[in-house]
Amino acid sequence: MSDTIAGDADPQTEQAAPAADERLAYRGVFQRMLIRPEIGAAIGAIAIWTFFWAVSVPFGKAGGAASILDVASSPLGIMAVAVAMLMIGGEFDLSTGAATGAFGIIMILMVRDVVGDAGGWGLSLWWALPLSLAAAITLGWFNGTVVDRTGLPSFIVTLASFFVLKGAKLGFSKQLVDQIQTGKLDDLIIAADQERLVGLRLIDDAEGARQQELLNSLGVTMDTPVEGLEAGNGTFGALLDAVRAADANDNARELEQLAELSRSFIDRPDKGYSTLNEIFAYDWLRNEHIWEWRDWAYMLGAFLGLSLLVLAVYEMHFRRKPGVESAGILPLCGGLLIAVAGAVLTIVSLTNRSQNPIAAVLAIASSLAVVGIGLSIMRSYRHRANAQGVSIAVKSLMRNALVLPGVALALVGMWRLHATDSVGGNTVGAILIGAGMLVALIGWGSTRYVRRASLGDAAQQLGDASDDFDDSRSGSVAPPFVIGLVALVVGMFLARRMDADNSTNLVVEWDLSGWAMFLIALVVAGLAAFLSAVRGDTVAAELSAGETAVSRAMSVLIGTAGQRMRTAGILTFIVTMLFLAQATIQGARAIFFMLLLGVAAVSCMTGVRRARNVSHPLGSLLLLIVSVLVAGTAFFIRAESMTPKFRTQMFSVLLAVAALMAIWAIATLIFQERSGPDHDADGLGRGLAVAGGLALTVGLFIRLLAVTEAEVLRGITPTRFSVRILWFLAFTAVATWVLGRTRFGSWIFAVGGNKDASRQVGVPASRTKTQLFMITAVAAWLVGLLLAFRLNTIQASTGDGEEFEYIIAAVVGGNALTGGRGSTLGAAIGAFIMAMSVQGIPSARWNSDWRFVFVGVILLLAVIANNYIRTQAEQAR
């Protein structure tokens, strides 16, 4: 589709570094992270989640999470991931939405016994599944082949497929079932059950003692009598009548034949429905899974995950001491895990007098430990340094006295946090945890990484930096920092001044007319435009380039700065108008506070980044100050907010962030960063990051999937988690693995970037594209299956027009429309963002009519942010 080559740097960046060889340029861990395509979506998802969580009551709860996961998983998420792969391969498929419904309908029609006058196939599900899969693959093959052979844009070809499918769905449903929907899938089991029941009743019929005798002699066992079932419907009723008639006529041979038949009814299978229903439509009822130690496991997962993530960043950022290798670290991790598990068990058994499932904690801890050890053994084996690795690990463990006390401290903190619900207890617990993590992580680092010359030298450096503070580079540090502080103070001031309980509309409360709204929006938009133009002195440069006043003005309006101004201005105007029209005082307070907090965070971090460039210790120092500010904000929120979730959850999250910042600030003050590649360290870092992410996810899921006794007593809303979420996660994981780790994945990127060029270097371009279409169709089949088992019957209109939602989710997730760039993980995150809007807008009690405005704004912002972050990160090499 596109003529640009994958990974082709855009001309601006080439100009930025003309002399250096780009292939040799080293990118630090953060830079590498920022140029990932999904980074914009990830940041956006967190921001939107925080936003909705803040402005609405049910959003952050388990029920809300279940809803979000449900919407994000089945049609949307799976399809977004598949569509993203196709988009990376440079093609579109507009038939995907209609196809999801179509394959569901095909499967149900294959399975049903009675389908209007046309008759049904009445196949077993074990046959219907592969057959409908074959149909899906055929559709994918057809789309792919036609696109390939004709050379037409896939937009057109699949649009045709879309209409064909849409029409066929409606046509066949009406023709076969005389409805705009298929019949029920669970008729299978109902029919089977009813037949079984009627059969039993037949045997049990008081009038039919002879038949019963006969059937008994034939080996048909009898069950309990069945009440409330009317005999005489359908085939079985006919059978019953026939038996009675035969009995009346004393026709023994016929009776025997019929007895045989009724036995066959009793033994009739449900065509695989029960089994497959468990696989495709299993629901986990949260309220039925009570586990007192849930919060322990959750916190353990969270802190373990965070620690591992910090370790991962350490490993990828700092310079290793000579002789330190990856091999030794994982046995150490395993050892640590076992130690942690042991400590937890000790505490649990000390504090616990009831017979709670300690075994479950043990299982989780030991399984994590086993995973760690297994990984380490694999790794050591690969490095052929098994014995050496273990000895290094033991040595470093012996040498490092700080890690264990740190971990112990953190655990005591967690115990404090758990032991009390009061806020005071939370503070003590949080501080202990923070201190513990700090001690453990610094201790850990000191055994592995090269130290900076000395702290005295660092102070010296700091002094040097402050000496030439009027230097043009250091001069840029103060403004953002000051802006951040001002934003923070203003935010706190507004939060104190505005009434948190006032839910009247902003327009009503402030008595704004339409014109006043317009003017306010105009002023805010002008401000935003001005701020965006001031950035980077572009205006000045463009002004000096012009000659006359008019041409200067023109150059500003036409040039890049002008473009940015217009975009920023128009967007801000729209958002402000919407905000004024919809927000309540309550909401506005939250929005202002969050917005200003966001501005403060971004500005302060910009200040820190710039300070880093001037002098490293200065940057660390500023970061330390920021972490103190964050902690201060946490306490402010706890003091100011009325809602318990702000007082507890937000408070602890902010404290955790502050702690991580402080840890990082101190670590960067002490250890030397790495300036060149180190593949061994990077590999280990990635492994640690994955392990950390897993630990976080497991912790989070434990929190979501179980309830505590106290919650049950309080009477919380029942919540179900569907197995569809698992399907979605599995599909995303497989797709990500294929895209990132296999040859086929590389081919996808290659054909998406430039089909002809990739063919020149030996990529089977046509085949790859056709296979991509087939993968998309298979995803649609899977979704159709999940839909069929969930809804039991499928509308003819199911999925029509949904393909654009899939594409939006993919684009929000950082997939380029031109192909050759993107990520399946991003598409999954994009699906989450879309799902959050479904759940969040009603939760915030906004009018749902505005949902699509929200989606549109998110789409635009996500694409702009993605682009911006990428270009910034690439320029900063």
* Interacting residues with another protein (CB under 8 A): 56-58, 63-64, 67-68, 70-71, 74-76, 97, 101, 121-123, 174, 178-181, 183-184, 235, 238-239, 241-242, 245-246, 248-249, 251, 254, 257-258, 261, 264-265, 717-718, 720, 787, 790-793, 795, 797-802, 805, 835, 838-845, 847-849, 851-852
Amino acid making up residue 150: T
- The residue (of 38 and 70) whose beta carbon lies closer to another protein is 70
Q: For the CB of residue 873, give the shortest distance to another protein in the complex, in Å.
A: 34
**Cβ closer to another protein: 510 or 850?**
850
Q: Which residues are within 8 A (CB) of 153 and not within 5 positions of it... i.e. 6 or more apart?
A: 1, 147
Buried b (16+ CB within 10 A) or exposed e, 813-832: bbbbeebbbbbbbbbbbbbb
Closest CA to 129 of 784, 862, 800, 592: 784
* Spatial distance between the Cα atoms of 731 and 686, rounded to a whole number of angstroms: 21
Strand 720-722 with 283-285, pairing: antiparallel
At residue 584, what are phi and psi to the nearest 5 degrees?
Answer: -100, 170
- By the 8 A CB rule, do 735 and 85 touch? yes
Nearer to another protein, 143 or 795 (CB): 795
Angle at which helix 455-467 crosses helix 616-640, to 10 degrees, equals 90
Compare residues 427 and 798 and give the one whose CB is closer to another protein: 798
Please enumerate in sequence order all residues whose Cβ is within 8 A of that of 267, keeping only pairs 6 or more positions apart, or say none.
none
Sign of torsion over alpha carbons 250, 251, 253, 254: negative
Choice between 253 and 743, CB closer to another protein: 253
Spatial contact of 71 and 805, defined as CB atoms under 8 Å apart = no
Q: Which residues pair with 584 in a beta bridge?
A: 505
**What is the Cα–Cα distance from 345 to 596, expressed in whole angstroms?**
44
Diameter of the chain measured on Cα atoms: 116
The alpha helices in 715-802, defined as continuous H runs, are 723-741, 743-753, 755-760, 765-791
Sign of dihedral through CA atoms 89, 93, 97, 101? negative
Least distance from C-beta 423 to another protein, angstroms?
Answer: 27
Contact 5, 761 (CB under 8 A): no
Task: Judge contact between 294 and 253, C-beta under 8 A.
Answer: no
Smallest gap from Cβ 837 to another protein, in A, equals 10
CA 699 to chain centre: 15
In the complex, minimum distance from the CB of residue 842 to another protein, in angstroms, rounded to a whole number: 4
Q: Which helix (H) or strand (E) holds 20?
A: none
736 contacts: CB under 8 Å, gap ≥ 6: 823, 824, 825
In the complex, the smallest distance separating the C-beta of residue 598 from another protein, rounded to whole angstroms, is 25
Contact 504, 585 (CB under 8 A): yes
CA atoms in the 13 A half-sphere facing the CB of 834: 30
The least distance separating another protein from the CB of residue 585, rounded to whole angstroms, comes to 19
Minimum distance between the CB of residue 781 and another protein, rounded to whole angstroms? 16
Please choose, from the candidates 808, 863, 776, the residue with its C-alpha nearest in 3D space to the C-alpha of residue 154.
Answer: 776
User: Least distance to another protein from the beta carbon of 798, Å?
Assistant: 6
Query: For residues 705 and 410, what is the distance between their CA atoms, to the nearest angstrom?
Result: 25
| Nearest of 818, 771, 829, 783 to residue 137 by alpha carbon | 771
Report, in Å, the least distance between residue 259 CB and another protein.
12
**Shortest separation between residue 504's beta carbon and another protein, angstroms:** 18
CB of 179 or CB of 217, closer to another protein: 179
Instruction: Specify the residue, 239 or 829, whose C-beta has the smaller distance to another protein.
Output: 239
Closer residue to another protein, CB minimum distance, 182 or 668: 182
Minimum CB distance to another protein, residue 724 (Å): 8
Query: CA angle at residue 183 from 185 to 108, to 5 degrees?
Result: 50
Please, where are the H alpha helices in 449-548? Answer: 455-467, 472-475, 478-497, 506-510, 514-534, 538-545
In whole angstroms, how close is the CB of 847 to another protein at the nearest point?
7
- Sequence length of the chain is 877
To another protein, the closest distance from the beta carbon of 136 in angstroms equals 17
Q: Closest Cα to residue 532, out of 868, 857, 811?
A: 868
Closest approach, Cβ 838 to another protein, in A, equals: 6
Give which of 39, 70, 37, 67 is closest to 52, Cα–Cα.
Answer: 67
Q: Is the dihedral of CA 136, 138, 139, 140 positive or negative?
A: positive
Between 454 and 847, name the residue whose CB sits nearer to another protein.
Answer: 847
Nearer to another protein, 233 or 367 (CB): 233
Q: Decide whether 123 or 604 has the Cβ nearer to another protein.
A: 123
Instruction: Return the number of the residue (91 or 800) whose C-beta is nearest another protein.
Output: 800
| Residue nearer to another protein on the CB measure, 623 or 808 | 808
Q: Nearest CA to 165 among 794, 638, 727, 735?
A: 794
User: Do 613 and 473 form a contact (C-beta atoms < 8 A)?
Assistant: yes
CB of 52 to another protein, least distance (A): 11
**Strands (E) located in 77-234:** none
As measured in angstroms, the least distance from the Cβ of 819 to another protein is 26
C-beta closer to another protein: residue 116 or 683? 116
At closest approach, how far in Å is the CB of 231 from another protein? 14
**In this complex, which beta carbon is closest to another protein, that of residue 101 or of residue 685?**
101
Cβ of residue 740: shortest distance to another protein, in angstroms?
28
In one-letter notation, the amino acid at residue 478 is A
The residue among 68 and 402 lying less far from another protein, judged by its C-beta, is 68
Burial of 658: CB neighbours in 10 Å, binned 0-12, 13-18, 19+ = buried
Contacts of 456 (CB under 8 A, 6+ apart): none
Question: Residue holding tokens 């003050």?
Answer: 669
